[in-house]
Amino acid sequence: MPPTRATTKERSAVRTLLRLWPYVRPVRIRLSVAALVAIVASCTGLVIPLVLKWMVDGPVADRDPAGVWLGALYLLLLGIAEALLFGLRRWLVARPLSHVEAGMRADLYGHLQRLPVAFHDRWASGQLLSRATTDLMLLRMFLAFPLTFLLVNGVTILVGVLIMLAQDWTLGLVILGPTIPVVWTCVIFENRYADVARLAQDQVGDITTVVEESVLGIRIIKGFGRHRSQARAFRELVRTLRGTELRKAHMLAMIWGVIVTLPEVAIGAALLWGSIQVAEHELSAGTLVAFLSTALALRWPVESIGFLLAMSQEAATATERYFEVRDALEEGADSLSSAGASGLVAQFPAPLWGAALKRPERGAGRDNMRLRRAGAVNPHRPAADDGPLPSAPEPDGIRFENVQFRYPDAAPDSAPTLAHIDLHIRPGESMALVGATGSGKTTLTALIPRLHEATSGRITLDGRDITAMPREELRSLVAMAFEEPTLFSASVGENVLMGAEDGAGEPELARALAVAQADFAHALPQGTGTQVGEQGLSLSGGQRQRLALARAVVGRPRFLVLDDPLSALDVHTEAAVEAALRDVLADTTALIVAHRPSTVLLADRVALLSGGRVTAVGTHHELLRTNAEYAHLMSGEDHRR
C-alpha cells in the first residue's frame, strides 16, 4: 500500500505546483507567449464597452447612421480579433503541453523500473496506474487552462476595474463592494476542497486497482463463482467515490452561488444608482452603458474563479501524488538516468519497455562472454588478434559470506528471514537449493541480482562484491527464471529475446527454445511471431514456464539462477528439459531451487536451507544418507512450497 495519505492542509498548493517547473521550463517561452496573447485577447474585449460609449454619446445621440455603421464595424473587428487571439493561444499551448505530459509519463515509468522490488510490494498497481494516467491528465489540463487563466482573468479584472473607476468612481465603489466576502469565500473553499480532491483521486486509484485485479484474476473469479461478490465490492467503491464527487459538487455549488450572486447584486445596485445619475443629468447614457458593459464583461473572469481554484487544487493534489512516487529512492546511483529512461521509452515498443529498462545494453563487462560465444578463445585470456583485453577477475563462482536478510517492513525485533548464510558455489558448478516451505529459498535467490538488498554480510561473483558492481552490469551477468513466469503482451520471440544481447536473432532464439523444450512455439499460428497476450494467458502454465526458461538461457549467462523452473511440467517434458539443461549448466555457474529429486540430480551439489540457515551441503546421495530432514523432503511428502 502507498504511504499514509497526507493532510493537504500541511502543504501549500503553490509550493507543490512549483515542482512542475523542471518539466515546464523547456516550453516556458511558448507558454509565456500564449499567456500574453490571452491577456491581449481578453483586454481587447474590454475595448468594446468604450466603443459602445462612443456610439451612444456620439452617432446614436446625433442620429448619424454612418457613424453607427462605423461603430458596428469596429465592434465586428474587435470580436474577430478577440476570437483569433484566443485561437492562437490554444494553438501555442497544444504541442508543448503534450510534450510536458509525455515527458512526465516517461520519467515516471522509467523511475518505476528503477525502484526496488520492496517498493512495488507495498504499492497497489492501480494507485501507480492512476498517477500515470488520470493525475497526468489533470496536470495537462491545469497547464493548458487554469494556470494561464488565473493570470489572464486577474489582469482582466484589474484592467476592467480601472476602466470602471475611470468612468465613474462612485459606481466603481459599488461594484467593488462584494470583493471582501468573495475573497474570504475563496480562501475557505480552497482549504476544504483540497482535502476532498485528494480523497477522490486516491479513491480513483483504489477503483483502478480493483479493475486491474479483476481482469487479471478473471479465471479465479469465474472459477469460484465470485462475480457477484466482486461486483458488489466494486459497486461499494464506486458508491464511495460518488459520495466524494458529490461533496466536491456541493462545495463548487456553494462557492459558485456566492461568486455569482454577490457580483450580480452589485451590478443591479450600480444600474439603479447609474440610472438615477443619468436621470439627473450627472452621468451620460453612454458612460452608463460603457460601465455596465464592462461590468458584464467581467462576469466570466469573476465567476470562473471558483472552478479555476478547484482545478488548481486538483492539479496540486495530482502533483503531490505524482511526486510521492518520483521521490521514492531508487535502487542506487548507478541506475539509469531519467533522461536515459525517457530515451528507452521512445525507442522500444510499449510491451518491451520494462525489459529494456531492466536489462539495458551490455557494457564492456560482457566482451569476454561475446568471445566465448563466438568460440574464439578462453574468456579469461586476451585474444591474439584483438590485442590485450581488460583483465578479468579470477573465477570464483558465487559466495555468500555471513549473509543476513530481513524484509524492510518486518518488525525490528523479529527473526531475520535469512541468517548467517555461508555458501560457495564453485565456478562452473550447479548447486541445488532445497528446503521446506517458508525456509527462504526464493528470498535467497533474489539477493544475487539485488532484487532485494542483503541486510548484512557479503555476496560475491567471481570475487567481486555485488554491491560494488553497477546493477546493469550485475544483471547482465546473472539470468533468472522464476517459478511464476511473467510474459509480456508481445510475440513469443520478443519475450524470449529479452534475455539476450541486442542483435540476437533466430539462431539464438531457436537454440533457447530447444533447450527449454519449447518447440511448440514454431507450431503457433504465426510461429515465434505469435502474440501471447497479456501475462501470456493464451498459453498453458507449462508453456509459459518453458518460455521463461528459454529467456533465461538465451543469453548464455555466466551465472544462472533458476527458482523451481520446471514445477508446471509433466514428467516426460521435465525429463527432456533436464537433459537439454545439462549442456547449458556445463558452461555456467548455477543455483537451482528444487523440490523434485529429478531436478536435484541436475546439480553437482545440494544445499539444505532450514529456518533461514544453510544446515547441510553435499551431494544428493550423501545428504540422503546423512541428513534426515533432507531425506524427508526428497521422500515426496513435502514437494510443495
pLDDT digits (tens, 9 = 90+) for 20-43: 888 888 888 888 888 888 888 888
Which of the residue ranges 140-154, 262-276, 566-580 would you say has the lowest mean pLDDT?
A: 566-580
Residue 514 has pLDDT above 50, yes or no: yes
**Higher model confidence: residue 359 or residue 215?**
215
3-state secondary structure 321-345: HHHHHHCCCCCCCCCCCHHHHHHHH
For 493-509, write each residue's pLDDT tens digit. Answer: 888 888 877 767 788 88
**Higher model confidence: residue 565 or residue 230?**
230
Residue 362 has pLDDT above 80, yes or no: no
179: left (phi over 0), alpha (psi -120 to 50) or beta: alpha
Tell me what the pLDDT averaged over the chain comes to.
78
Amino acid, res. 154: G
pLDDT at 291: 82
**Is residue 349 within 8 Å of residue 489, measured between CB atoms?**
no
**393 pLDDT tier (thresholds 50, 70, 90):** low
Cell 493464451 belongs to residue: 538
> Coil, strand, or helix at residue 613?
strand
Residue 606 has pLDDT above 90, yes or no: yes
Give 268: exposed, middle or buried? Use CB within 10 Å, 0-12, 13-18, 19+: exposed
**Higher model confidence: residue 185 or residue 367?**
185
pLDDT at 536: 67
Structural domains in the chain, CATH included, are 8-329 (1.20.1560.10), 398-637 (3.40.50.300)
Radius of gyration of the CA atoms of the chain, in A: 35
Most confident of 8-22, 55-69, 85-99, 347-361: 85-99
Backbone angles phi, psi at 451, to 5 degrees: -65, -30
CA nearest 569: which of 603, 600, 541? 541
CA nearest 148: which of 201, 80, 96, 77? 96
Residue 424 has pLDDT above 90, yes or no: yes
Q: Provide the grid cell at 258.
A: 456566492
**Higher model confidence: residue 109 or residue 540?**
109
For 146-183, write each residue's pLDDT tens digit. Answer: 888 888 888 888 888 888 888 888 888 888 877 788 87
Rounded Cα distance between 133 and 216, Å, is 19
Cell 510499449 belongs to residue: 350
Give 459: exposed, middle or buried? Use CB within 10 Å, 0-12, 13-18, 19+: buried
Please state the pTM of the whole predicted model.
Answer: 0.67
Angle among Cα 180, 184, 190 to the nearest 5 degrees reads 145
| Half-sphere exposure of residue 244: CA atoms within 13 angstroms, side-chain side | 18
**Is residue 59 within 8 Å of residue 67, measured between CB atoms?**
yes
Residue 372 has pLDDT above 60, yes or no: no
**61 pLDDT tier (thresholds 50, 70, 90):** confident
pLDDT at 283: 79
pLDDT at 568: 65
